[in-house]
Amino acid sequence: MGAILDGFHRISHYLPEIRAPAKIPSVKERFIWTGLALLLFFVMYNTTAFGVVHQSGGFDFLQMITASRMGSLLTTSIGPIVLASIFLQLFSGAGLIPLDPKNPEHKKKFQEVQKVLALIIALVEATIFVTNGTVLLVDPASSLLVALVIFQIALGSAIVLYLDEIVTKYGIGSGISLFIAAGVSFSIIAGAITLLIGEGGVTGAVAGGGAEAIPNALLVLLPLIFTLIVFTVVCYCEGVKVEIPLAYQQARGIAPKLPLNLFYLSNIPVIFASALLLNIQLFSGMLAGATLDIGGTNIVPFFGFVDSSGQLRDGLLYFFSPIHGGNTIAQLNFLLNGTTPIFGIPEWVHAITYVLFLSLVSVLFGIFWAETSGMDTRGMTNQLMQSGMQVPGWRRDPRILEKVLSKYIPPLIILGSFLVGLLAGLADLTGALGTGTGILLTVGIFYRTYLQMKRQKLLDAVPFLGDLSSG
């Protein structure tokens, strides 16, 4: 494994690199770079790849979480980037690769290897999408066209990879988070317009009349209503926090407070968990037509049954996949009355296993992410000590600060990661526009982007605070 890691690291030296800015960009410059990145993202998002039949639907949930659109230049989008990060974190956490996330040199190597691995995964995913018929081609028999479409889709993910670096270094927030929020927002707006005015012969909420007009309109608008409910709940949870009083050694009289949110790790755990589960759903398509006989019985359907359209419909893997039965009414009816095709297990069992598994996997990735990003107790202690912070009334000792933080950070990592996964899973069951997970991610992204913008504007206006923060 170490040899492969070193090989990827050598390859990364031949790839283009977005250099860090020589000086910290101003707020105006950050807005400009972020706007340009978003503009290019939406251009690719709405551009169908050459040689591809324009289509809609398909892996709707996958497209939502990975900021992708099937058949466009962003068919895979940020999926390979997230999956590459997941693989490296798992291997690093298991000790299979010698990378210490707290070591600056190792952290840089981690990012360079992640870039190479993301490009490889983008090529693999593009090949799978094109060869299994998920992306419809104008001429599927043309090998040249197949190769051209694979190249376009993989190139789209490569461009997004560099757009993420540009936004991270020159713009506002994280590029990956920004693209997810943009894709979800686009879906919510488009879905709301469809509910109001209708589409394809389906009557919208603003059409029709008679005594049943209002009840029918309310039924039609249920997805939008649940969207608002989920949005409100997520906003409330984002505001729940505990504040730890601290003292600043170099400026007596200043008593800052360290805010620790309930969602301590933001939406990162559920992003990784959703990407993992959805890639399981994607790669399960390879089980179609596969056989593995043991004692005269084909056991492949026990792992995953794939129907003629390439969709996972039953088996062990199916019970970890998202549930999407259409709008809110169809979704609830599917959960209450639906059964799996082979074993006849009720869909409500599927709902329970999906929500629990998403929550537990979120906890797992939350723990890994906290250690990798330096947001665990020891990492936060080191950051605060370097900034000159200490516990009021105690001598400046990292052991004391770490003891205080250990009462809050580990429980918040586990509880926050579990709740963010639980809320996302439950919200998905409502049939809300943009999916529950999508709304959760978008609210968290907007909230933290706002905080970063607010902080940046404050530091620009009061340079003294910027000097204090740099310690």
* DSSP letter for each residue of 25-40: PPHHHHHHHHHHHHHH
Q: Rounded mean pLDDT of 83-99?
A: 75
Please report which confidence band the pLDDT of residue 122 belongs to, taking 50, 70 and 90 as the band edges.
very high
| pLDDT score of 234 more than 90 | no
Check whether residue 177 and residue 261 sit in a common domain.
Answer: no
Taking residues 425-435, what's their average pLDDT? 79
Structural domain contains residue 194: no
Same domain, 131 and 13: yes
Average pLDDT over residues 225-243: 83
Domain identity same for 255 and 163? no
Q: Is residue 207 part of a domain?
A: no
Task: Give the best-scoring range by mean pLDDT among 99-103, 250-254, 345-349.
Answer: 345-349
What integer pLDDT is reported at residue 468 of this predicted model? 40
Q: What is the pLDDT of residue 255?
A: 61
The answer to whether residues 400 and 244 touch, using CB atoms and an 8 Å cutoff, is no
Count of CB atoms within 10 A of residue 406's CB?
15
**44: which strand partners?**
none
Decide which of 466 and 354 is more confident. Answer: 354
For residue 14, tell me if it sits in a domain. Answer: yes
Sign of the torsion angle spanned by Cα atoms 92, 93, 95, 98: positive
Place of tokens 């419909």: 313
Which pLDDT does position 217 carry in this prediction? 65
- State whether 164 and 280 are in the same domain: no
pLDDT exceeds cutoff 80 at 260: yes
Q: What domain range is 352 assigned to?
A: 238-471
Band (pLDDT 50/70/90 cuts) for residue 39 is very high
What's the confidence (pLDDT) of residue 150? 95
Predicted local confidence at residue 56, as pLDDT: 57
**Do residues 162 and 252 both lie within one domain?**
no
Of 206-215, 385-394, 414-423, the one with minimum mean pLDDT is 206-215
Give the residue-averaged pLDDT of 27-46: 90
Q: Are residues 106 and 248 in the same domain?
A: no
What CATH number does residue 429 fall under? 1.10.3370.10
* pLDDT at res. 303: 80
In this predicted model, which residue has the larger pLDDT, 409 or 286? 409
- Please indicate, yes or no, whether residues 269 and 179 belong to a single structural domain of this protein: no
For range 310-322, the mean pLDDT? 80
- Is 208 part of any domain? no
180 shares its domain with 276: no
Region 173-196 average pLDDT? 81
pLDDT > 90 in the chain, percent: 15
Burial of 314 (0-12, 13-18, 19+ CB in 10 A): buried
Question: What 3-state DSSP class applies to 450?
Answer: helix
Closest alpha carbon to 427 in 439, 415, 416: 439
pLDDT at 455: 65
Examine the fold and report which residue of 166, 187, 208 is the final residue of a domain before the chain moves on.
187
Q: What is the mean pLDDT of residues 174-192?
A: 82
- pLDDT classification of 73: cutoffs 50, 70, 90: very high
Look at residue 470 in the predicted model and tell me its pLDDT.
40
3-state SS class at 432? coil
In this predicted structure, what is the pLDDT of residue 467? 45
Residues 251 and 172 reside in one and the same domain: no
On whether residue 200 sits in a domain, the answer given is no
Task: Please give the average per-residue pLDDT across 289-299, as a whole number.
Answer: 75
The residue among 97 and 171 whose pLDDT is bigger is 171
- Among residues 46, 34, 24, the alpha carbon closest in space to that of 177 is found at 34
Domain-embedded: residue 228:
no
At which of 187, 210, 227 does a domain end? Answer: 187
C-alpha distances in angstroms, 303 versus 83, 145, 344, 348, 360? Answer: 22, 34, 15, 19, 20
Residue 249 reports pLDDT greater than 70: no
365-413 pLDDT per residue, tens:
888 888 877 788 888 888 777 767 777 766 677 788 888 888 888 999 9
The total number of structural domains that make up the chain = 2
The last residue of one of the domains, among 187, 207, 230, is 187
Q: Which residues contact 429 (CB under 8 A, 6 or more apart)?
A: 323, 331, 335, 351, 355, 436
* First-to-final CA distance of the chain: 39
Whether residue 209 has pLDDT greater than 70? no
For residue 437, the model assigns a pLDDT of 73
Q: Tell me the C-alpha to C-alpha distance, in Å, between residue 55 and each of 47, 60, 330.
A: 12, 12, 23
Mean pLDDT, range 6-27, rounded to an integer: 84
Are 62 and 162 found together in one domain?
A: yes
pLDDT higher than 80, residue 342: no
Helical H runs in 198-318? 213-220, 222-239, 268-283, 300-303
Considering the domain boundaries, does residue 218 fall inside one?
A: no
What is the pLDDT confidence band of residue 49, given thresholds at 50, 70 and 90?
very high
How would residue 58 be classed by pLDDT, with cut points 50, 70 and 90? Answer: very low
pLDDT at residue 4 greater than cutoff 50: yes
Q: Which residue has the higher pLDDT, 168 or 246?
A: 168
Q: What is the mean pLDDT of residues 95-109?
A: 73
- Does the pLDDT at position 154 exceed 90? yes
E-state strands within 150-221: 198-199, 202-203
Average pLDDT over residues 129-137: 85
Same domain membership, residue 288 and residue 182:
no
Rounded to the nearest integer, the mean pLDDT of the chain is 79
Residues 374 and 307 in one domain: yes
In a domain, 225, yes or no: no
Q: Minimal CA–CA distance to 41: which of 185, 151, 140, 188? A: 185
